[in-house]
Structure 1
Amino acid sequence: MSERHAFVGADIFDGERRVAGHALLIADGRVEAICGTGETPLDATVVRCEGGLLAPGFIDIQVNGGGGVLFNDEPTVDGIARICAAHARFGATSLLPTVITDRPEVMAAAIEAVAEATCIGVAGCLGIHVEGPFIAIARKGAHEAGLIRRMTGPDLEMLCATAVRPFVLTLAPESVSNAQIARLAGAGIHVSIGHSDADHATARAAFAAGARGVTHLFNAMSPLGHRSPGLVGATLECGDVWAGIIADGHHVHPTALALALRAKSGPGRLMAISDAMPTVGIDSDTFTLNGRRVVRRDGRLVLADGTLAGSDLTMIGAVRYLVRTIGLPIEEALRMSALYPARYLGIEATRGALTPGAWADIVWLSDGLDVEAVWIEGRLRVDRSGALGVPV
C-alpha cells in the first residue's frame, strides 16, 4: 500500500481554483486528490500547515545562477545542484539552468551536465536553456560580442541530437535561418526569439517557422513602435507564442508590464522568469561574467557601463511584484509562475498544477507571501519554521 500524506490547515490553489477547508492528498510523491477535510483517509499522515496557501511550486525557465554559482563558470552537476538548492528556498521547485553566450565547449559541457543531472535526479533540475551565442550583436545586452556567431550546420546537428528535454534555445533570426528554426522545433527544442533587432515581419516569419517563445519580453529586442511594431508587437499579437518577462521593476516599467498583460493574445501567455545570477541567496554583491565585473546596486546587477546583466530576482519576488505593484490577483501571479511555464514546455500533466497524477511540487506561502516550506516530488526541501519535519 502506498504511503499517504494529507496537507491540511491552509487554503489550496491547484493552478486553476482556490479552495478552503480542504486537504491535499499526496501518495508516493504525486498528487492523489484534493478532498474535504472530513474525507481524509484514515491511513494518511497529517501534515498541518497553519494558515496561508498551498500552491504549485514555481517553474523558472531562465536561471543563469544562484547560491554563488554562475552556470557558465561551473557547468557541472554539482554547480546545477547548488543553483537548484538556492532557488528552492524561494519557491522554485523546477528550473532550467541557463548557459549564456560562451565558447562552444562551455555550451557542450552545460548540456552534458544537465543530461547527467536529470538522469540522476538532481532535485529541481528540469532541463536546460541555452541563451546564445546565435543572437544579434545589435541587441547583445550583457552578452560578450566577441562570442556571438551565426549557427552552423554542425551546431544544428549537435543541438538536434541532444536528448535533454525540455530544451529552450534563445536565438535571433539575424543569426539563424527559418529553415534551421523549423529543424530545431521539429526536433522538440523550444525555440525562443530573443536578443534580436528583428522587425515585425521577420519575427512573424520566425514564429511561422516554429519558434513558440520569446525571451525576456521588452529587453534586448526591437521595441513596440506605432509604425514599427517590432518583436514586441509580434509577440503580443500572436496567440500561440509565449513570453518570459522579468517582473522586478528594473527591467520593465510597471506600466509596460501591465499593458502587455492586457494586450497579450492567448492561449500563449506571459510567464514570470527570474533571469537570476549568482547573487541570489548569498550576501556577495559582485561576480564576473565573461571576465567582466558585475555589481549588485540598488536591486540591479550592472556592468561598468550600466548595462543590466541578468537580475537579482527570485520567483517569490516576482510573485510579490506582480501582486503588490502590478495589482494582479494572487491566483494569476501564481499561474504566471507555475502553470503557464508548464504549458509552454508541454509538461502540464506532471508539473505546474496540483492535479491528480502530477508530481507533488508544492510551495506553502504565508498570507504575507513569504515562503514557509517547499516540497519537490513530495520530499520536504525547505522548512523555514522548522516545525514540519515530515519528509513526504
Structure 2
Amino acid sequence: MAILLKNATLFDGERFLNGQSVEVANGKISRIFAADNNLASDYEQIVDLSGQILAPGFIDVQVNGGGGVMFNDQRTVEGLTEIVRGHRQYGSTTLMPTLITDSFEVMREAADAISAAIKADVPGVRGVHFEGPYLSLKRRGVHAPEFLRDVDDEALDLFTRGDLGEVIVTVAPECVPKPFIASLSEKGVHVCAGHSAATYEQVGEALDVGLRGFTHLFNAMPPLANREPSVVGAGLDDPNSWCGLIVDGYHLHFASARIVVRAKKQGKIMLVSDAMATVGAKEKHFNLYGETIHAVDGRCALEDGTLAGSDLDMMRAVELAHKELGVELGEALRMASLYPAQFLRLDDQIGRIAPGYDADLVAFGKDDMKVTRTWIKGQGESH
C-alpha cells in the first residue's frame, strides 16, 4: 500500500511547485502530480500538508553527536540510533556519524558499530566520517594531542573495508603521504582537508591525487592571506571540490560566509552542523576527552572559550543561510540536501524529490521554518 502526501508546496531539489501531491510506495517516490481533492482513498495513509514546504531530507556529513550522545563515547547501534533521533526532528534524514580523533582501537569499534547499524537498517545512517587522527597539531582545535599521529599501518584497510557505506576521512594534507590520499580516493573514500596548516601548494598536490572536499572551511586552518592563500584559498579556488560550512554565526562571521557563497562555484558548498551531543537533548553540556563542554546560546565551547563543535541543527542552518547570508531558499535547501548528496555520490538516490528516489523528506512551515514531519525511506514521524 502507498501513502499520499497532498497539498504540498513542493521543492523537488530544483524548483518550487504549489499544490502538489507526492505518492510514496515501498520507501520510494512513486509519483508526483497536481493536487486533486477527489483522490481515491485506497492509500494506507493520506497526509494533508496544508501548503507546508515539502523538501528533500537534509544530509549532514559532519555529525559528532546528538540526542545526548557523542559517537566517540557510545560506539554502538543504540548510540547511533539516539544520534539520529536527536537530529531527525530538525529535518536530517541522512547522517554521517563523525568520530573525532581517537585511538585506533576506538576507530575500529566505531567502524564495527557503523557496519552493524547499516546491516540493521538504522534509519538515516549511510556511512561514517573519520575526522582525524591524521591532523595538524597546530590546528587541532579540541582534538586530543595524544591521539594525533602518523598514518596507522592498518588505516587503509579500515577505511576501505567495504561494509561502512560511504566513508569520509578528514586529514591534514601536509601530515599524510600523497599515496595514502590517492589510495583512499581510488577505493571510493571521500577525502577532505581539515585541521590543517598546509600551504596552498600542498593542498593543490592533494587535490591532484584525489582530495575532494574541505571540512568546515575557515575553521582550524590558517586564514586567507594576500601572499599565502593557504587551505582556505585552495578550497575557494578549486572548482571541483566541495566545502563544508558551519553557518551558526560563531564558527564563521556571516560576512565571511557571504563572501564564500559568492566566491565558490555554485553547487559546491554544503551546510554542515558539526553538531555535538546537545542537539536534540535536554542537557546542554557533555564530556569530551574528560572535559566538560557547555552549549550556551547555541555555542559549544570549553571552559577557556575554545570552540568545540556546535549546537547547530540543519533546519537552523538552512534558515540562517537564507536569512543571514541572503541565499535564496531553494539554494539554501540544495546546500543541505542536493549538494551533499552529490558529494557523497548518492544523488541518484537522495537529494531530490523525483520518481525512483528514496522517500527521504522533510516538511516545514513556510513562515516559521519549523519541522513538522520527516520521512526516511517512506517511514514517517511527526515532530
- The count of residues paired between Structure 1 and Structure 2 equals 380
Structure 2 counterparts to residues 181-260 of structure 1, below 5 A: 181-260=181-260
Which whole-Å deviations, capped at 9, do the CAs of 1:82-101 have from their partners, x for residues lacking one?
00011001100110111010
2:320 alignment counterpart: 321
Structure 2 counterparts to residues 72-87 of structure 1, below 5 A: 72-87=72-87
- For the residue of structure 1 that corresponds to 2:138, the secondary structure is helix
- For the residue of structure 2 that corresponds to 1:294, the secondary structure is strand
Give the fraction of aligned pairs with identical amino acids, expressed as a percent.
41
1:387 alignment counterpart: none
1:390 alignment counterpart: none
2:358 aligned with 1:355: no
- Aligned mates of 1:281, 1:164 — CA distance in 2: 25
**Contact between 1:9 and 1:50, CA under 8 Å: does it hold in 2?**
yes
Structure 2 counterparts to residues 66-105 of structure 1, below 5 A: 66-105=66-105
2:160 alignment counterpart: 160
State the shift of 1:165 in Å: 2.1
- Aligned mates of 1:51, 1:21 — CA distance in 2: 7
Unaligned runs of 5+ in 2: none
- Aligned mates of 1:288, 1:168 — CA distance in 2: 24
- Aligned mates of 1:223, 1:217 — CA distance in 2: 10
Structure 2 counterparts to residues 47-126 of structure 1, below 5 A: 47-126=47-126
- The amino acid that maps onto 1:20 is N
- Aligned mates of 1:63, 1:103 — CA distance in 2: 19
- The amino acid that maps onto 1:227 is R
**Contact between 1:23 and 1:40, CA under 8 Å: does it hold in 2?**
no
**Contact between 1:240 and 1:266, CA under 8 Å: does it hold in 2?**
no
- Aligned mates of 1:346, 1:39 — CA distance in 2: 38
State the shift of 1:40 in Å: 8.2
> For residues 108 and 327 of structure 1, do their structure 2 counterparts lie closer, same or farther at Cα, with a shift above 3 Å needed?
same
- Aligned mates of 1:40, 1:237 — CA distance in 2: 53
> For residues 40 and 152 of structure 1, do their structure 2 counterparts lie closer, same or farther at Cα, with a shift above 3 Å needed?
farther
**Contact between 1:69 and 1:82, CA under 8 Å: does it hold in 2?**
yes
State the shift of 1:41 in Å: 6.2
State the shift of 1:26 in Å: 1.3
- Aligned mates of 1:125, 1:278 — CA distance in 2: 16
State the shift of 1:21 in Å: 1.9
> For residues 101 and 326 of structure 1, do their structure 2 counterparts lie closer, same or farther at Cα, with a shift above 3 Å needed?
same
**Superposition TM-score, scaled by structure 1 size:** 0.94
State the shift of 1:162 in Å: 4.1
State the shift of 1:213 in Å: 0.9
- The amino acid that maps onto 1:240 is N
- For the residue of structure 2 that corresponds to 1:161, the secondary structure is coil
2:29 aligned with 1:26: no
- For the residue of structure 1 that corresponds to 2:337, the secondary structure is helix
**Contact between 1:99 and 1:130, CA under 8 Å: does it hold in 2?**
yes
2:308 alignment counterpart: 309
**Contact between 1:167 and 1:190, CA under 8 Å: does it hold in 2?**
yes
**Superposition TM-score, scaled by structure 2 size:** 0.96
- Aligned mates of 1:27, 1:212 — CA distance in 2: 35
Which whole-Å deviations, capped at 9, do the CAs of 1:241-291 have from their partners, x for residues lacking one?
001110100000001100001100255x11000000011112222211111
- The amino acid that maps onto 2:297 is D
Unaligned runs of 5+ in 1: 385-392
- The amino acid that maps onto 1:158 is L
- For the residue of structure 2 that corresponds to 1:9, the secondary structure is strand
State the shift of 1:328 in Å: 1.2
- Aligned mates of 1:40, 1:122 — CA distance in 2: 36
